[in-house]
Amino acid sequence: MKILDGKLTSAAQKREIAKKVAQLIDNDIRAPHLVAVLVGEDGASQTYVTAKEKACISVGMTSSVYRLPAKTTEKEVLEMVNFLNNDPDVDGFIVQLPLPKHIDEQKVIEAISPEKDVDGFHPVNVGKMVLGLDSYLPATPAGILEILKHYQIETEGKHCVVVGRSNIVGMPISIMMGQKRNPGNATVTLCHSKTRNLAEITRSADILIVAIGSPEFITAQMVKEGAVVIDVGIHRIADATTQSGFKLKGDVAFDEVAQKVSWITPVPGGVGPMTIAGLLANTLKAAQKNR
Ligand code: NDP
């Protein structure tokens, strides 16, 4: 078994991004500016936004975070989105999900200008992605393609099974893996909670991508010998033996599955860092396009 190392791969990708940011600055063009809007006090969201902020700064970009209280109304969030859409100093922005229950996420996503939608969640960008047109690709699927490319994992003609059909991971990666390009050209099966005989299908996967949000759900008996496994899930599991009091686990039972497969992403250090690099790549693209 070999590790698909997201830390190493994203570091290489970030070095390339940093070079391009430096070129912009050398040409007297201001650094790309990414804004994150964070509503409420969700612990995981705060961690993600802090990580994104640090990554931005590490490649020479400008990062701003608007922290709004949990009681912020939908109208106020939409006003903030409108303000950012029209702010010429902002190249791209994200509204960190999930939003508090009283705010309609889809309404907020649709209010974001597609040109500044560096999360790639706006229907215009999703539609362009499906058609294979130039767009902002959602960061996690883009990160998965990047790590497959980095390790030269052959995807053409392979059976790729995706478990999970969320709008941000499962659905887009299932489309992207089937598209006519490299990585891509795979034969894709998309599974979800209504799938029958899930284990039978996952066992037929040459490439298994798991994004279901259920800790260590995929066990060794659900994977084929020699498969490539991409684990998107992230879970904090209480663990008194660690200083933090928790351990991070994925949707895949890493210790047992790793014994059987050819390549696997660890958690942490797999898809997570690739997602952040994907967001930076979109921000750079926005800065290059929107000027
Ligand atoms: P969602 O909760 O939005 O979607 C989960 C999907 O999994 C749904 O399509 C659901 O099916 C399916 N599912 C749930 N249970 C089962 C089951 N028992 N068998 C088969 N399918 C099942 O999750 P996300 O895609 O947003 O996230 C998934 C995981 O990835 C989470 O742990 C999340 O934290 C993590 N994540 C990590 C990122 C990273 O950067 N590493 C980025 C984004 C997410 P149905 O549609 O039928 O309900």
Average pLDDT over residues 108-126: 98
Nearest CA to ligand 1 atom 48: 193
DSSP for the chain? -EE--HHHHHHHHHHHHHHHHHHHHHTT-PPPEEEEEEES--HHHHHHHHHHHHHHHHTT-EEEEEEE-TT--HHHHHHHHHHHHT-TT-SEEEEPSSPPTTS-HHHHHHHS-GGGBTT--SHHHHHHHHHT-S----HHHHHHHHHHHHTT---TT-EEEEE---TTTHHHHHHHHHSSSSS---EEEEE-TT-SSHHHHHTT-SEEEE-SS-TT-B-GGGS-TT-EEEE---EEEE-TTSSSSEEEE-SB-HHHHHTT-SEE--SSSSHHHHHHHHHHHHHHHHHHHH-
Do the Cβ atoms of 226 and 212 come closer than 8 Å?
no
Q: Do domains 28-114 and 139-272 have the same CATH topology?
A: yes
Q: At what angle do helices 271-290 and 139-150 cross, to 10 degrees?
A: 110
Kindly report which listed range (136-140, 160-164, 287-291) carries the lowest average pLDDT score.
287-291
Q: Is 128 a catalytic residue?
A: no
User: What pLDDT is attached to residue 39?
Assistant: 97
In this predicted structure, the answer to whether residue 95 has a pLDDT above a threshold of 90 is yes
Distance between CA 165 and CA 186 in Å, rounded?
A: 17
| 24 Cα to the center of ligand 1, angstroms | 38
Residue 94 β-bridge partners:
36
Distance between CA 45 and CA 251 in Å, rounded?
A: 19
Residue 209 β-bridge partners:
162, 230
Of the candidates 71, 77, 138, the residue with the CA atom closest to the CA atom of residue 111: 77
| 213 Cα to the center of ligand 1, angstroms | 4
Distance between CA 258 and CA 195 in Å, rounded?
A: 24
| 21 Cα to the center of ligand 1, angstroms | 34
In this predicted structure, the answer to whether residue 76 has a pLDDT above a threshold of 80 is yes
Catalytic residue, from 5, 14, 91, 96: name it: 96
In this predicted structure, the answer to whether residue 290 has a pLDDT above a threshold of 80 is no
CATH number of the 139-272 domain: 3.40.50.720
Q: Is 119 a catalytic residue?
A: yes
- The residue whose CB lies within 8 Å of the most ligand 1 atoms, and thus the one to mutate among 161, 166, 200, 279, is 166
Q: Any idea where the domains of the chain sit in the sequence? A: 28-114, 139-272
Do the Cβ atoms of 220 and 259 come closer than 8 Å?
yes
User: What pLDDT is attached to residue 291?
Assistant: 73
Q: Is 104 a catalytic residue?
A: no
With a Cβ cut-off of 6 Å, ligand 1 is lined by 140, 163-166, 168-170, 191-195, 198, 211-214, 232-235, 271-272, 275
Catalytic residue, from 5, 13, 52, 117: name it: 52
User: What pLDDT is attached to residue 208?
Assistant: 99
Domain topology for 28-114: Rossmann fold (3.40.50)
Supply angle C-alpha 38, 54, 84, rounded to 5. 40
Atom of ligand 1 nearest to the CA of 211: 28
At 152-173, the pLDDT tens digits run 999 999 999 999 999 999 999 9
| 2 Cα to the center of ligand 1, angstroms | 25
Nearest CA to ligand 1 atom 18: 193
| 228 Cα to the center of ligand 1, angstroms | 19
At 33-52, the pLDDT tens digits run 999 999 999 888 998 999 99
